[in-house]
Structure 1
Amino acid sequence: MTLRPSLLASLVMLTALGAQAAGRIPYGGELRVAHSGPTELPEPSLADSPLEATLHGLVSQPLCQGMPQGHAGPALAHGPSRPSPQVVRWSLPAPAQAQALVRAWARLTGSEAPSPYRALLFPLMGEGRQLSASGDTLELTLAFPWPDLERALCHPALAPPRSAPAALGPFSPSGTHTVDARLAWPPGRPYVDRLRLQPTDERGLSRLWSTQGTQVALGVAPDPGSGTGAALYATYLAWSPRKVPADFRQAVERALDREDLTRLFVRGPAVPMPHLLPPELMPQAPSPRPPPPPESRAGRKVTLLYDTENEDQHAVAERIQVKLHDLGYTVALTPLPRAGLRARWASGDYEVMLHSLLLPPVPGPALAVVLDAAGRKDLLGVELPRIGALPEPTARDARVRERALALGPTLPLLPLYAQGLALRAAPEVGGLSFDAQGLPRLDGVWLQPGAVGGSGARR
């Protein structure tokens, strides 16, 4: 049985408390971490798969970290505090970190590299465009009540780029594929001294694990021995309504079987997503199968853009091409690097595209990102103030789910599936847990006594 994040976190917490009480949690050692991700990561708004976000977060973190209990835990910043209901204040380690965050957020909302993650900043006065830091303090003024702001700002896409001089994380780069523990990391230094990262492909990942060549394997296929983070990496099919035939949505909904996609064409852990938000954020009642579209007519052509850096998108794009052919559509496939794909999204220069996004673990901010990704940023000013006006979290979340159901059929965006990150850890690895975003917290990992030298021996 696969461990869910909440259960795994609870087990880890009990283990940690018991170990601390007995004085057995050691500092030190080198931990080998194999992964099937890229060796070079782009800026955080583009390094947004769960695996990429995990790797990026080792050396550059956002303001805070989403905790499994639902609150914003410490990361880069101390706080937050609310001196008034419409003002949120954060204290950072130094003015350089505050300025780095301001610059990173400005890129999301500016014309240089616009991103759907800019919707996380929409509740700020001026959407954060005129944001400035005063020394090591970041003061954020809200344009309307938004109780979920603190948790929204924990999103990995809001971290500074790794290349920024002021980027700060629990580890610091120390060589090719190695990062060392940052002793002055504000929440507390990591337990291990060093992570040795081992980039490889899926076959190499399996080989390293089976030969005991690694102690943690990130991005494995889920099985009874793996831990799994929340499935919040959601993939949508988006289109420009004026550039596709009027029956396009009906044809796609009729042709595609989400269960079929998740079972045969994407890597797990994956779940079908018939509604705007993943099952982690809202119940997924089966969506009714639409009636057959009008009789097929030859000559209906669309171009489908997909992320060449995402193998699952390639497989799904080919499946869509085959299934729509039976309904009279000719689908031309165009692979693009992720930066090019997001640029085409931002300019509206596409007919159809696959869009994968790491959604926040909070329904309100997640809906904001999805609405912007659908090209309906205008709806943010209508929907978000009404949601934020509800002080109780349960009432806000219920309102979000209600609006997601109502808005779904009106958007040029079809939800397909959501994915998480699975990992395996050797017996000598302790303290491994997932945060609310579904990312493993490697800064909290320790090596059991007898394995501090990083030998990797299995028991």
Structure 2
Amino acid sequence: MIRRAAAPGLALVVALGAGVPGPAAAAIPPASGGELRVLLPATPRVGDPAQATAPQDLALVRALQATLVEVDASGGLAPGLLAELPAPEPGGTAYRLRLRPGLRFGDGTPLRAADVAASLARLLARSGPAREPSPHAWVLLPVLGADAVLEGRAAAPAGLEVLSELELRVVLAFPFPELPWALAALPSAVVSSRGAGAGPFVLDGHDAGAVRLAPNPHAVRGLPFADRLLLGAADARGAARALERGQAELAIRPEAVSDGAVPAAPLTVTVLALQRSRLGAGTEAVRRAVEAVDRAELARRFVRGPSVPLETLVPPAILPGRPRPRPGRLATAPAPRQLTLLVPAGAPEALAAADRLQVKLHDAGIRVSVETAPPERLAARLAAGDCEAAIRSVPVLGLRPALAAGQVALATRGPAAARQAMAALAGLEGPAALARAAELERSLDLVPLFASGQRASPAPALQGAAPRADGGIDPGDLWLLGGGAP
């Protein structure tokens, strides 16, 4: 079993972390061995990339799973499970994907093109008590036949064509140059029919307090540097104490809990969704009242992690800049005297923002009743129009404007709106994307509020803990000076 090669820049990290002069430190290879203990906001419970949305669950997915394409240290794309980066066929509506030969899942079973097709198709399948598709169905929405699966007219999208054990062809309903970036997002990770992944670690046990993982001997990039990985949970004070006492090597949470904390890109988008079916002609008056709120103040005062105000539905880390001012719709009717604002339960920052909006809207003559609901119930009520407004926080996992807009639209308005959003922004960057994103937020009756993120707080001996462009940390690249030896 071969250890993975050092990721670009790891030797430099050694120089900075160990205080050794650069030329001397550059010769220090990453050390193997030891146990890594990572503390998260809560104990991970979901390792399925099709269902994971909470930060702790996404951390578990990164440990267990591998994607067809990867986001490299520079923020670009690199082959993951694929032998090379996919390129569009003439016309831009099809891509041919070729797997590396000899791939295996963590349980030793071969990883073939049919597994890739089946794993991707799961994102569209209606499952669970609510019989809803994956919250990450946006990955497959541009694929030909995705609508037929969502409407129950087909079991799998016609656009996923298995050509051989190593090749498949993805046919799109419209040109979508962002497909390789979608295949680099965590939800597109390939899972076997038995639930096995192909990431750097495999599940080794779990209890109420932690998840234990062991190296995956079949990982595509080789064995991870650490011999064991433990994913546990602690609040900010407990995480700081554990790092100080040498009882943990890394904490990932909004607050900085060590001197060397590194912020991740703020990629979780928080928006206010207005229900025109309930507000009617008063929708624009409510929008204007909310837009008058200082969103920079919301981000600064009420968000614990790295945060920025939102100019559009797309985080500035993906689409920087501000769209040109456009005249909004005229408020043809007064705002309603009262409205109900739904907030996801267990989301303190969303609740704090709701309280602030409640005060500001009261000043505008609108009485707001704030109600909390579990995320699943909130989504159902929003879809049914059972409220006047709702706050939604969406972790953006696709690093292109079209993908980000699709994720927000799916979480707030459903698959049809998400597909339209992705088609509208396909291939757009810069000012053109900003203008289209601004149009989109109004057509969807959404008001962007802020984007937030996490911080990685490492112990002094831990290396490789800088978050990547997608906000995540590859646990397979983490290693300890001296390999964790006492």
TM range (shorter): 0.7 to 0.9
Q: 2:473 aligns with which of 407, 428, 440?
A: 440
**SS across alignment from 2:349:** helix
Q: Please list every run of 5 or more consecutive structure 2 residues that lacks an aligned counterpart in the other structure.
A: 1-6, 16-22, 105-110, 150-155
Give the C-alpha shift of residue 79 in structure 1: 3.8
Q: 2:484 aligns with which of 448, 452, 457?
A: 452
Q: Residue 328 of structure 1 corresponds to which residue in structure 2? A: 365
Q: Is 1:173 equivalent to 2:203 in the alignment?
A: yes
1:114 aligns with 2:117: no
Task: Quote the residue 1:5 is aligned against.
Answer: none
Distance, in Å, in 1 between the alignment partners of 2:9 and 2:59 is: 21
CA distance in 2, matches of 1:225, 1:290: 44
The alignment partner of 1:125 has SS state of coil
Q: 1:233 offset after TM fit, Å?
A: 0.9
Residue 364, structure 1, aligned to residue 399, structure 2: no
Q: Report the CA distance between 1:416 and its aligned residue.
A: 0.7
Q: Which has the higher contact order (CA 8 A, sep 6+)?
A: 1
TM-score by length of 1: 0.82
Q: Indicate conservation of the 8 Å contact 1:237/1:352, yes or no.
A: yes
Question: Separation in 1 of the partners of 2:458 and 2:357?
Answer: 36
Matched residue of 1:268: which SS?
A: coil
1:315 aligned to 2:349?
no
Counterpart selection for 1:237 from 250, 269, 272: 272
Q: Which residue in the other structure is 2:107 paired with? A: none
CA contact (8 A) 1:12 1:432 kept: no
Q: How does 1:24-39 map to 2 (within 5 A)?
A: 24-39=29-44
2:152 maps to what in 1? none
The structural deviation recorded for 1:275 is 2.2
Q: Give the C-alpha shift of residue 90 in structure 1.
A: 4.2
Aligned partner of 1:203 in structure 2 is 237
Residue identity matched to 2:286: F
Q: Which letter maps to 1:228?
A: P
TM-score of the superposition, structure 2-length normalised? 0.78
| Residues 340-399 of structure 1, C-alpha deviations (whole Å, 9 max, x = no match) | 2333344454431111112222122222333444528656666655654x5xxxx64543
Distance 1:396 1:291 in 2: 26
| Equivalent residue number for residue 344 of structure 1 | 381
| Structure 2: distance between partners of 1:25 and 1:186 | 18
Match of 2:456 among 410, 423, 445: 423
Output the aligned Cα RMSD: 3.6
- Map 1:188-227; keep pairs closer than 5 Å: 188-222=222-256, 225-227=260-262
| Range that drifts further, 25-34 or 429-438 | 429-438
Mapped to 2, the partners of 1:329 and 1:100 lie a distance apart of: 49
The residue that corresponds to 1:6 in the other structure is: none
Q: Distance in 2 between matches of 1:354 and 1:162?
A: 35
Q: Distance in 2 between matches of 1:12 and 1:342?
A: 42
The answer as to 2:179 corresponding to 1:158 is no
Give the direction of change, closer, same or farther, for the CA distance of 1:259–1:387 in structure 2 (3 Å limit): closer
Summarize the Cα distance change of 1:376–1:192 in structure 2 as closer, same or farther, 3 Å threshold.
closer
- Contact 2:43–2:232, Cα closer than 8 Å, also in 1: no
Answer with 207-216 or 125-134: which moved more.
Answer: 125-134
1:280 aligned residue: 317
* 1:374-389 correspondence to structure 2 within 5 Å: 374-375=412-413, 384-385=422-423, 388=426
1:186 and 2:220 matched: yes
What are the ranges of 5 or more consecutive residues in structure 1 without an aligned counterpart?
Answer: 1-8
Q: How far has the Cα of 1:238 moved from its partner?
A: 0.6
Contact 1:238/1:413 (<8 A) preserved: yes
Count of residue pairs the alignment pairs up: 438
CA 1:39–1:145: 2 relative to 1, 3 Å: closer
Residues 116 and 82 (structure 1 numbering): CA distance in 2 closer, same or farther, change over 3 Å?
same
State the alpha-carbon separation in 1 of the partners of residues 456 and 430 from structure 2: 30
Identity %: 29
TM-aligned CA distance change 1:47 to 1:428, over 3 Å: same
Q: Measure the CA separation in 2 of the matches of 1:20 and 1:124.
A: 47
Contact kept, 8 Å, 1:50 with 1:233, in 2: the verdict is no
Task: Say which is worse superposed, 416-425 or 95-104, in terms of deviation.
Answer: 95-104
The C-alpha deviation readout for 1:211-256, integer Å capped at 9, x for no partner, is 23211111152486211221111111112112123321112222x2
Residue of structure 1 equivalent to 2:97:
89
Deviation at 1:330, TM superposition (A): 2.7
